Amino acid sequence: MSRAPAVYLDYNATAPIRPEAEDAAVCALRIGANPSSVHAGGRMARAAVEQARAEVAGLVGASSDQVIFTSGGTEANRIAVEGAIAAGCRRPIILATEHDSTMRPAMASGHWTEAWPVNGQGVADLDWLKDQLARWDARDGAPFVALSLANSETGVIQDAAGVAALVHDVGGTLHVDAVQAAGKIAVDIAALGADTLSLSGHKLGAPQGVGALVIAPRAKVGPRVAAPGGQERGIRTGTENVSGIAGFGAAAAAALRDLPHAAHQTAWRDAAAERLKTEGAIIAGEGASRLPGVLCALTEGFESELQVMMLDLDGVMVSAGSACSSGKVAASTVLVAMGYAGILSDPDARRRLGLASVAVRASGGWATTAADWVRFAEVWVSAHDRHQRRRSVA
């Protein structure tokens, strides 16, 4: 009997490269010149970089001169945080469910970092933020606030525009991590009110190792250290990754074109979720607005690592959480912040206790089909049933 084709549902970690991005990257590799050189080869390389800059800008409603290429979303987040601290912020406010690439630079700055709480659905507590901003001490510099437009583990979408209004009213700045959101929902830097916005190529189907920081006109971001070279407006100097950037641009253009396909995944994801819920799974953030192709399920007594391994053996690839932490045994900090660990006051406390270490995340993308989500649900239910039988015997 032939085995069913493998199903890849780990796009939030890395999307398979798009054909358009692969072609663009290969063409750029063949140029073989430095984009800072003034000869014909250099001009060809520069043209490839600038075309990609326009394509990336188009994905988020920006102008080309607002896009600074980086090595990825991690570096883009770090530049935004370190730039804000260099500009005088002494008490950054970072959403408690943020990626480490945003939270850790703030904590490493030596300044007190405020962890902005979320509710049980993973939605930012705006009342808490209003209170913090109302009591802001001018000695801490202008407020700097950072949040992800969509969470990498749960897919929960935040009201960035509402946050921006609060922050700007007190003269602060807002950084939006749009790494997971871009290409899955419409993203417009002006509509969001973001002062800086980070992107990552490989989440869209571009090669790994390239990203961007998009800087709004009102933002002030300078180089963190003195460095030679004037590339990327002096903010991120060094010879550009021409092939990666070209692939990023092509992937961004394709992602913008394919936004309707991304929206279709809501129904496919929800149908899979209903099947998992019949087996006792809890869907993290189910009551909030979420990205269309992201499902984070928690199942009591079914450890994350075991779920990933059992599904992988049956040809379905998912993860236990953020790609940067899914190989670790520790519980997800995102789910802990949402209350899936510790002593809780709500009526469901006993069941939620410890669930942060029994989560699995399935995430679709540009090549995902409805059949992929059906196959995932079938394999997960079968794996759960086998696990339950083994537990009953033990």
Positions annotated as catalytic residues are 324
N-to-C CA span, the chain: 32
Distance of alpha carbon 274 from alpha carbon 72, whole angstroms: 35
Q: How far is CA 370 from CA 116, 190, 251, 284, 360, in A?
A: 36, 33, 22, 21, 19
Q: Which amino acid is at 174?
A: L
CB within 8 Å of 93: residues ≥ 6 apart? 113, 114, 116, 129, 132, 143, 144, 145, 146
Residue in the block written with tokens 């942060």:
356
For residue 388, the number of C-alpha atoms closer than 13 Å in the C-beta half-sphere is: 10
- As a whole number of angstroms, the distance between CA 150 and CA 164 comes to 15
Residue 87 CB contacts under 8 Å (≥ 6 apart), including other chains = 141, 142, 220, 222
3-state secondary structure of 225: coil
Report the phi/psi class of residue 243: left, alpha or beta, with left for phi > 0 and alpha for psi in -120 to 50.
alpha
CA 146/CA 165 separation, integer angstroms: 13
